Structure 1
């Protein structure tokens, strides 16, 4: 009987840990979505951009500010890896996604596969192209960026 209880506890503990991981992934996805939105607005409004703190989480604002602080380096890295293309030709949503992912690749806090996959998922969800080419483009650019900095 003790073994059955122990097995049951182990299974419950694993479920809780899995739930925590899923929650952390959801929280990280939400953070990326908010930062993507901030980067989009920053690019769209340029000098007229005003950060409205009450609309975004403190973590999103913090990450956004970190990306902006490194934006020149991020953009140079993106430009170097856009063959026959320029940063200005990217639509603003895709530019925001690639900028955020490039920043995350530079910081090396997460595995590059996670960063690139998350960028692909954001592209699939938010990019305005329905032909599946844009997420492939995002994947290719980010993989080239990763290869150039590893």
Structure 2
């Protein structure tokens, strides 16, 4: 049951809510990270908002999930968190690559969750940390999109 709860909430964070409402995101399609990013161009992802960019948030989230996956496999990579915030501007090619890489580490996280036969404290903290951390960045990114998007005139 715990495994399925983790997956439901991670999927809501990244893929958006399922068909019957949501646990904490907006209850409409496109409310997860991937749906939000579909509406953001490389140029928009590179606009500075309160000292950072959407591109930086995505690269940092990707790095965080990579670290979480490594620790869950028992690896202990050398970490440089400041590196995960150095990207601020992206071109279309880099922006597309960031989104694919984020999808890949997210998919790996779901696979890792499926592979565990039991959850020790480090694994539970890693999964809950990845969920909370990603949800935080989803909220930040969704707020940033309100700043960078000009409402359409109809």
Same-fold call, TM cutoff 0.5? no
Question: Higher helix proportion, which one?
Answer: 1
The alignment's TM-score, normalised by the length of structure 2, stands at: 0.28
Asked which structure has the greater RCO (Cα within 8 Å, sep 6+), the reply is: 2
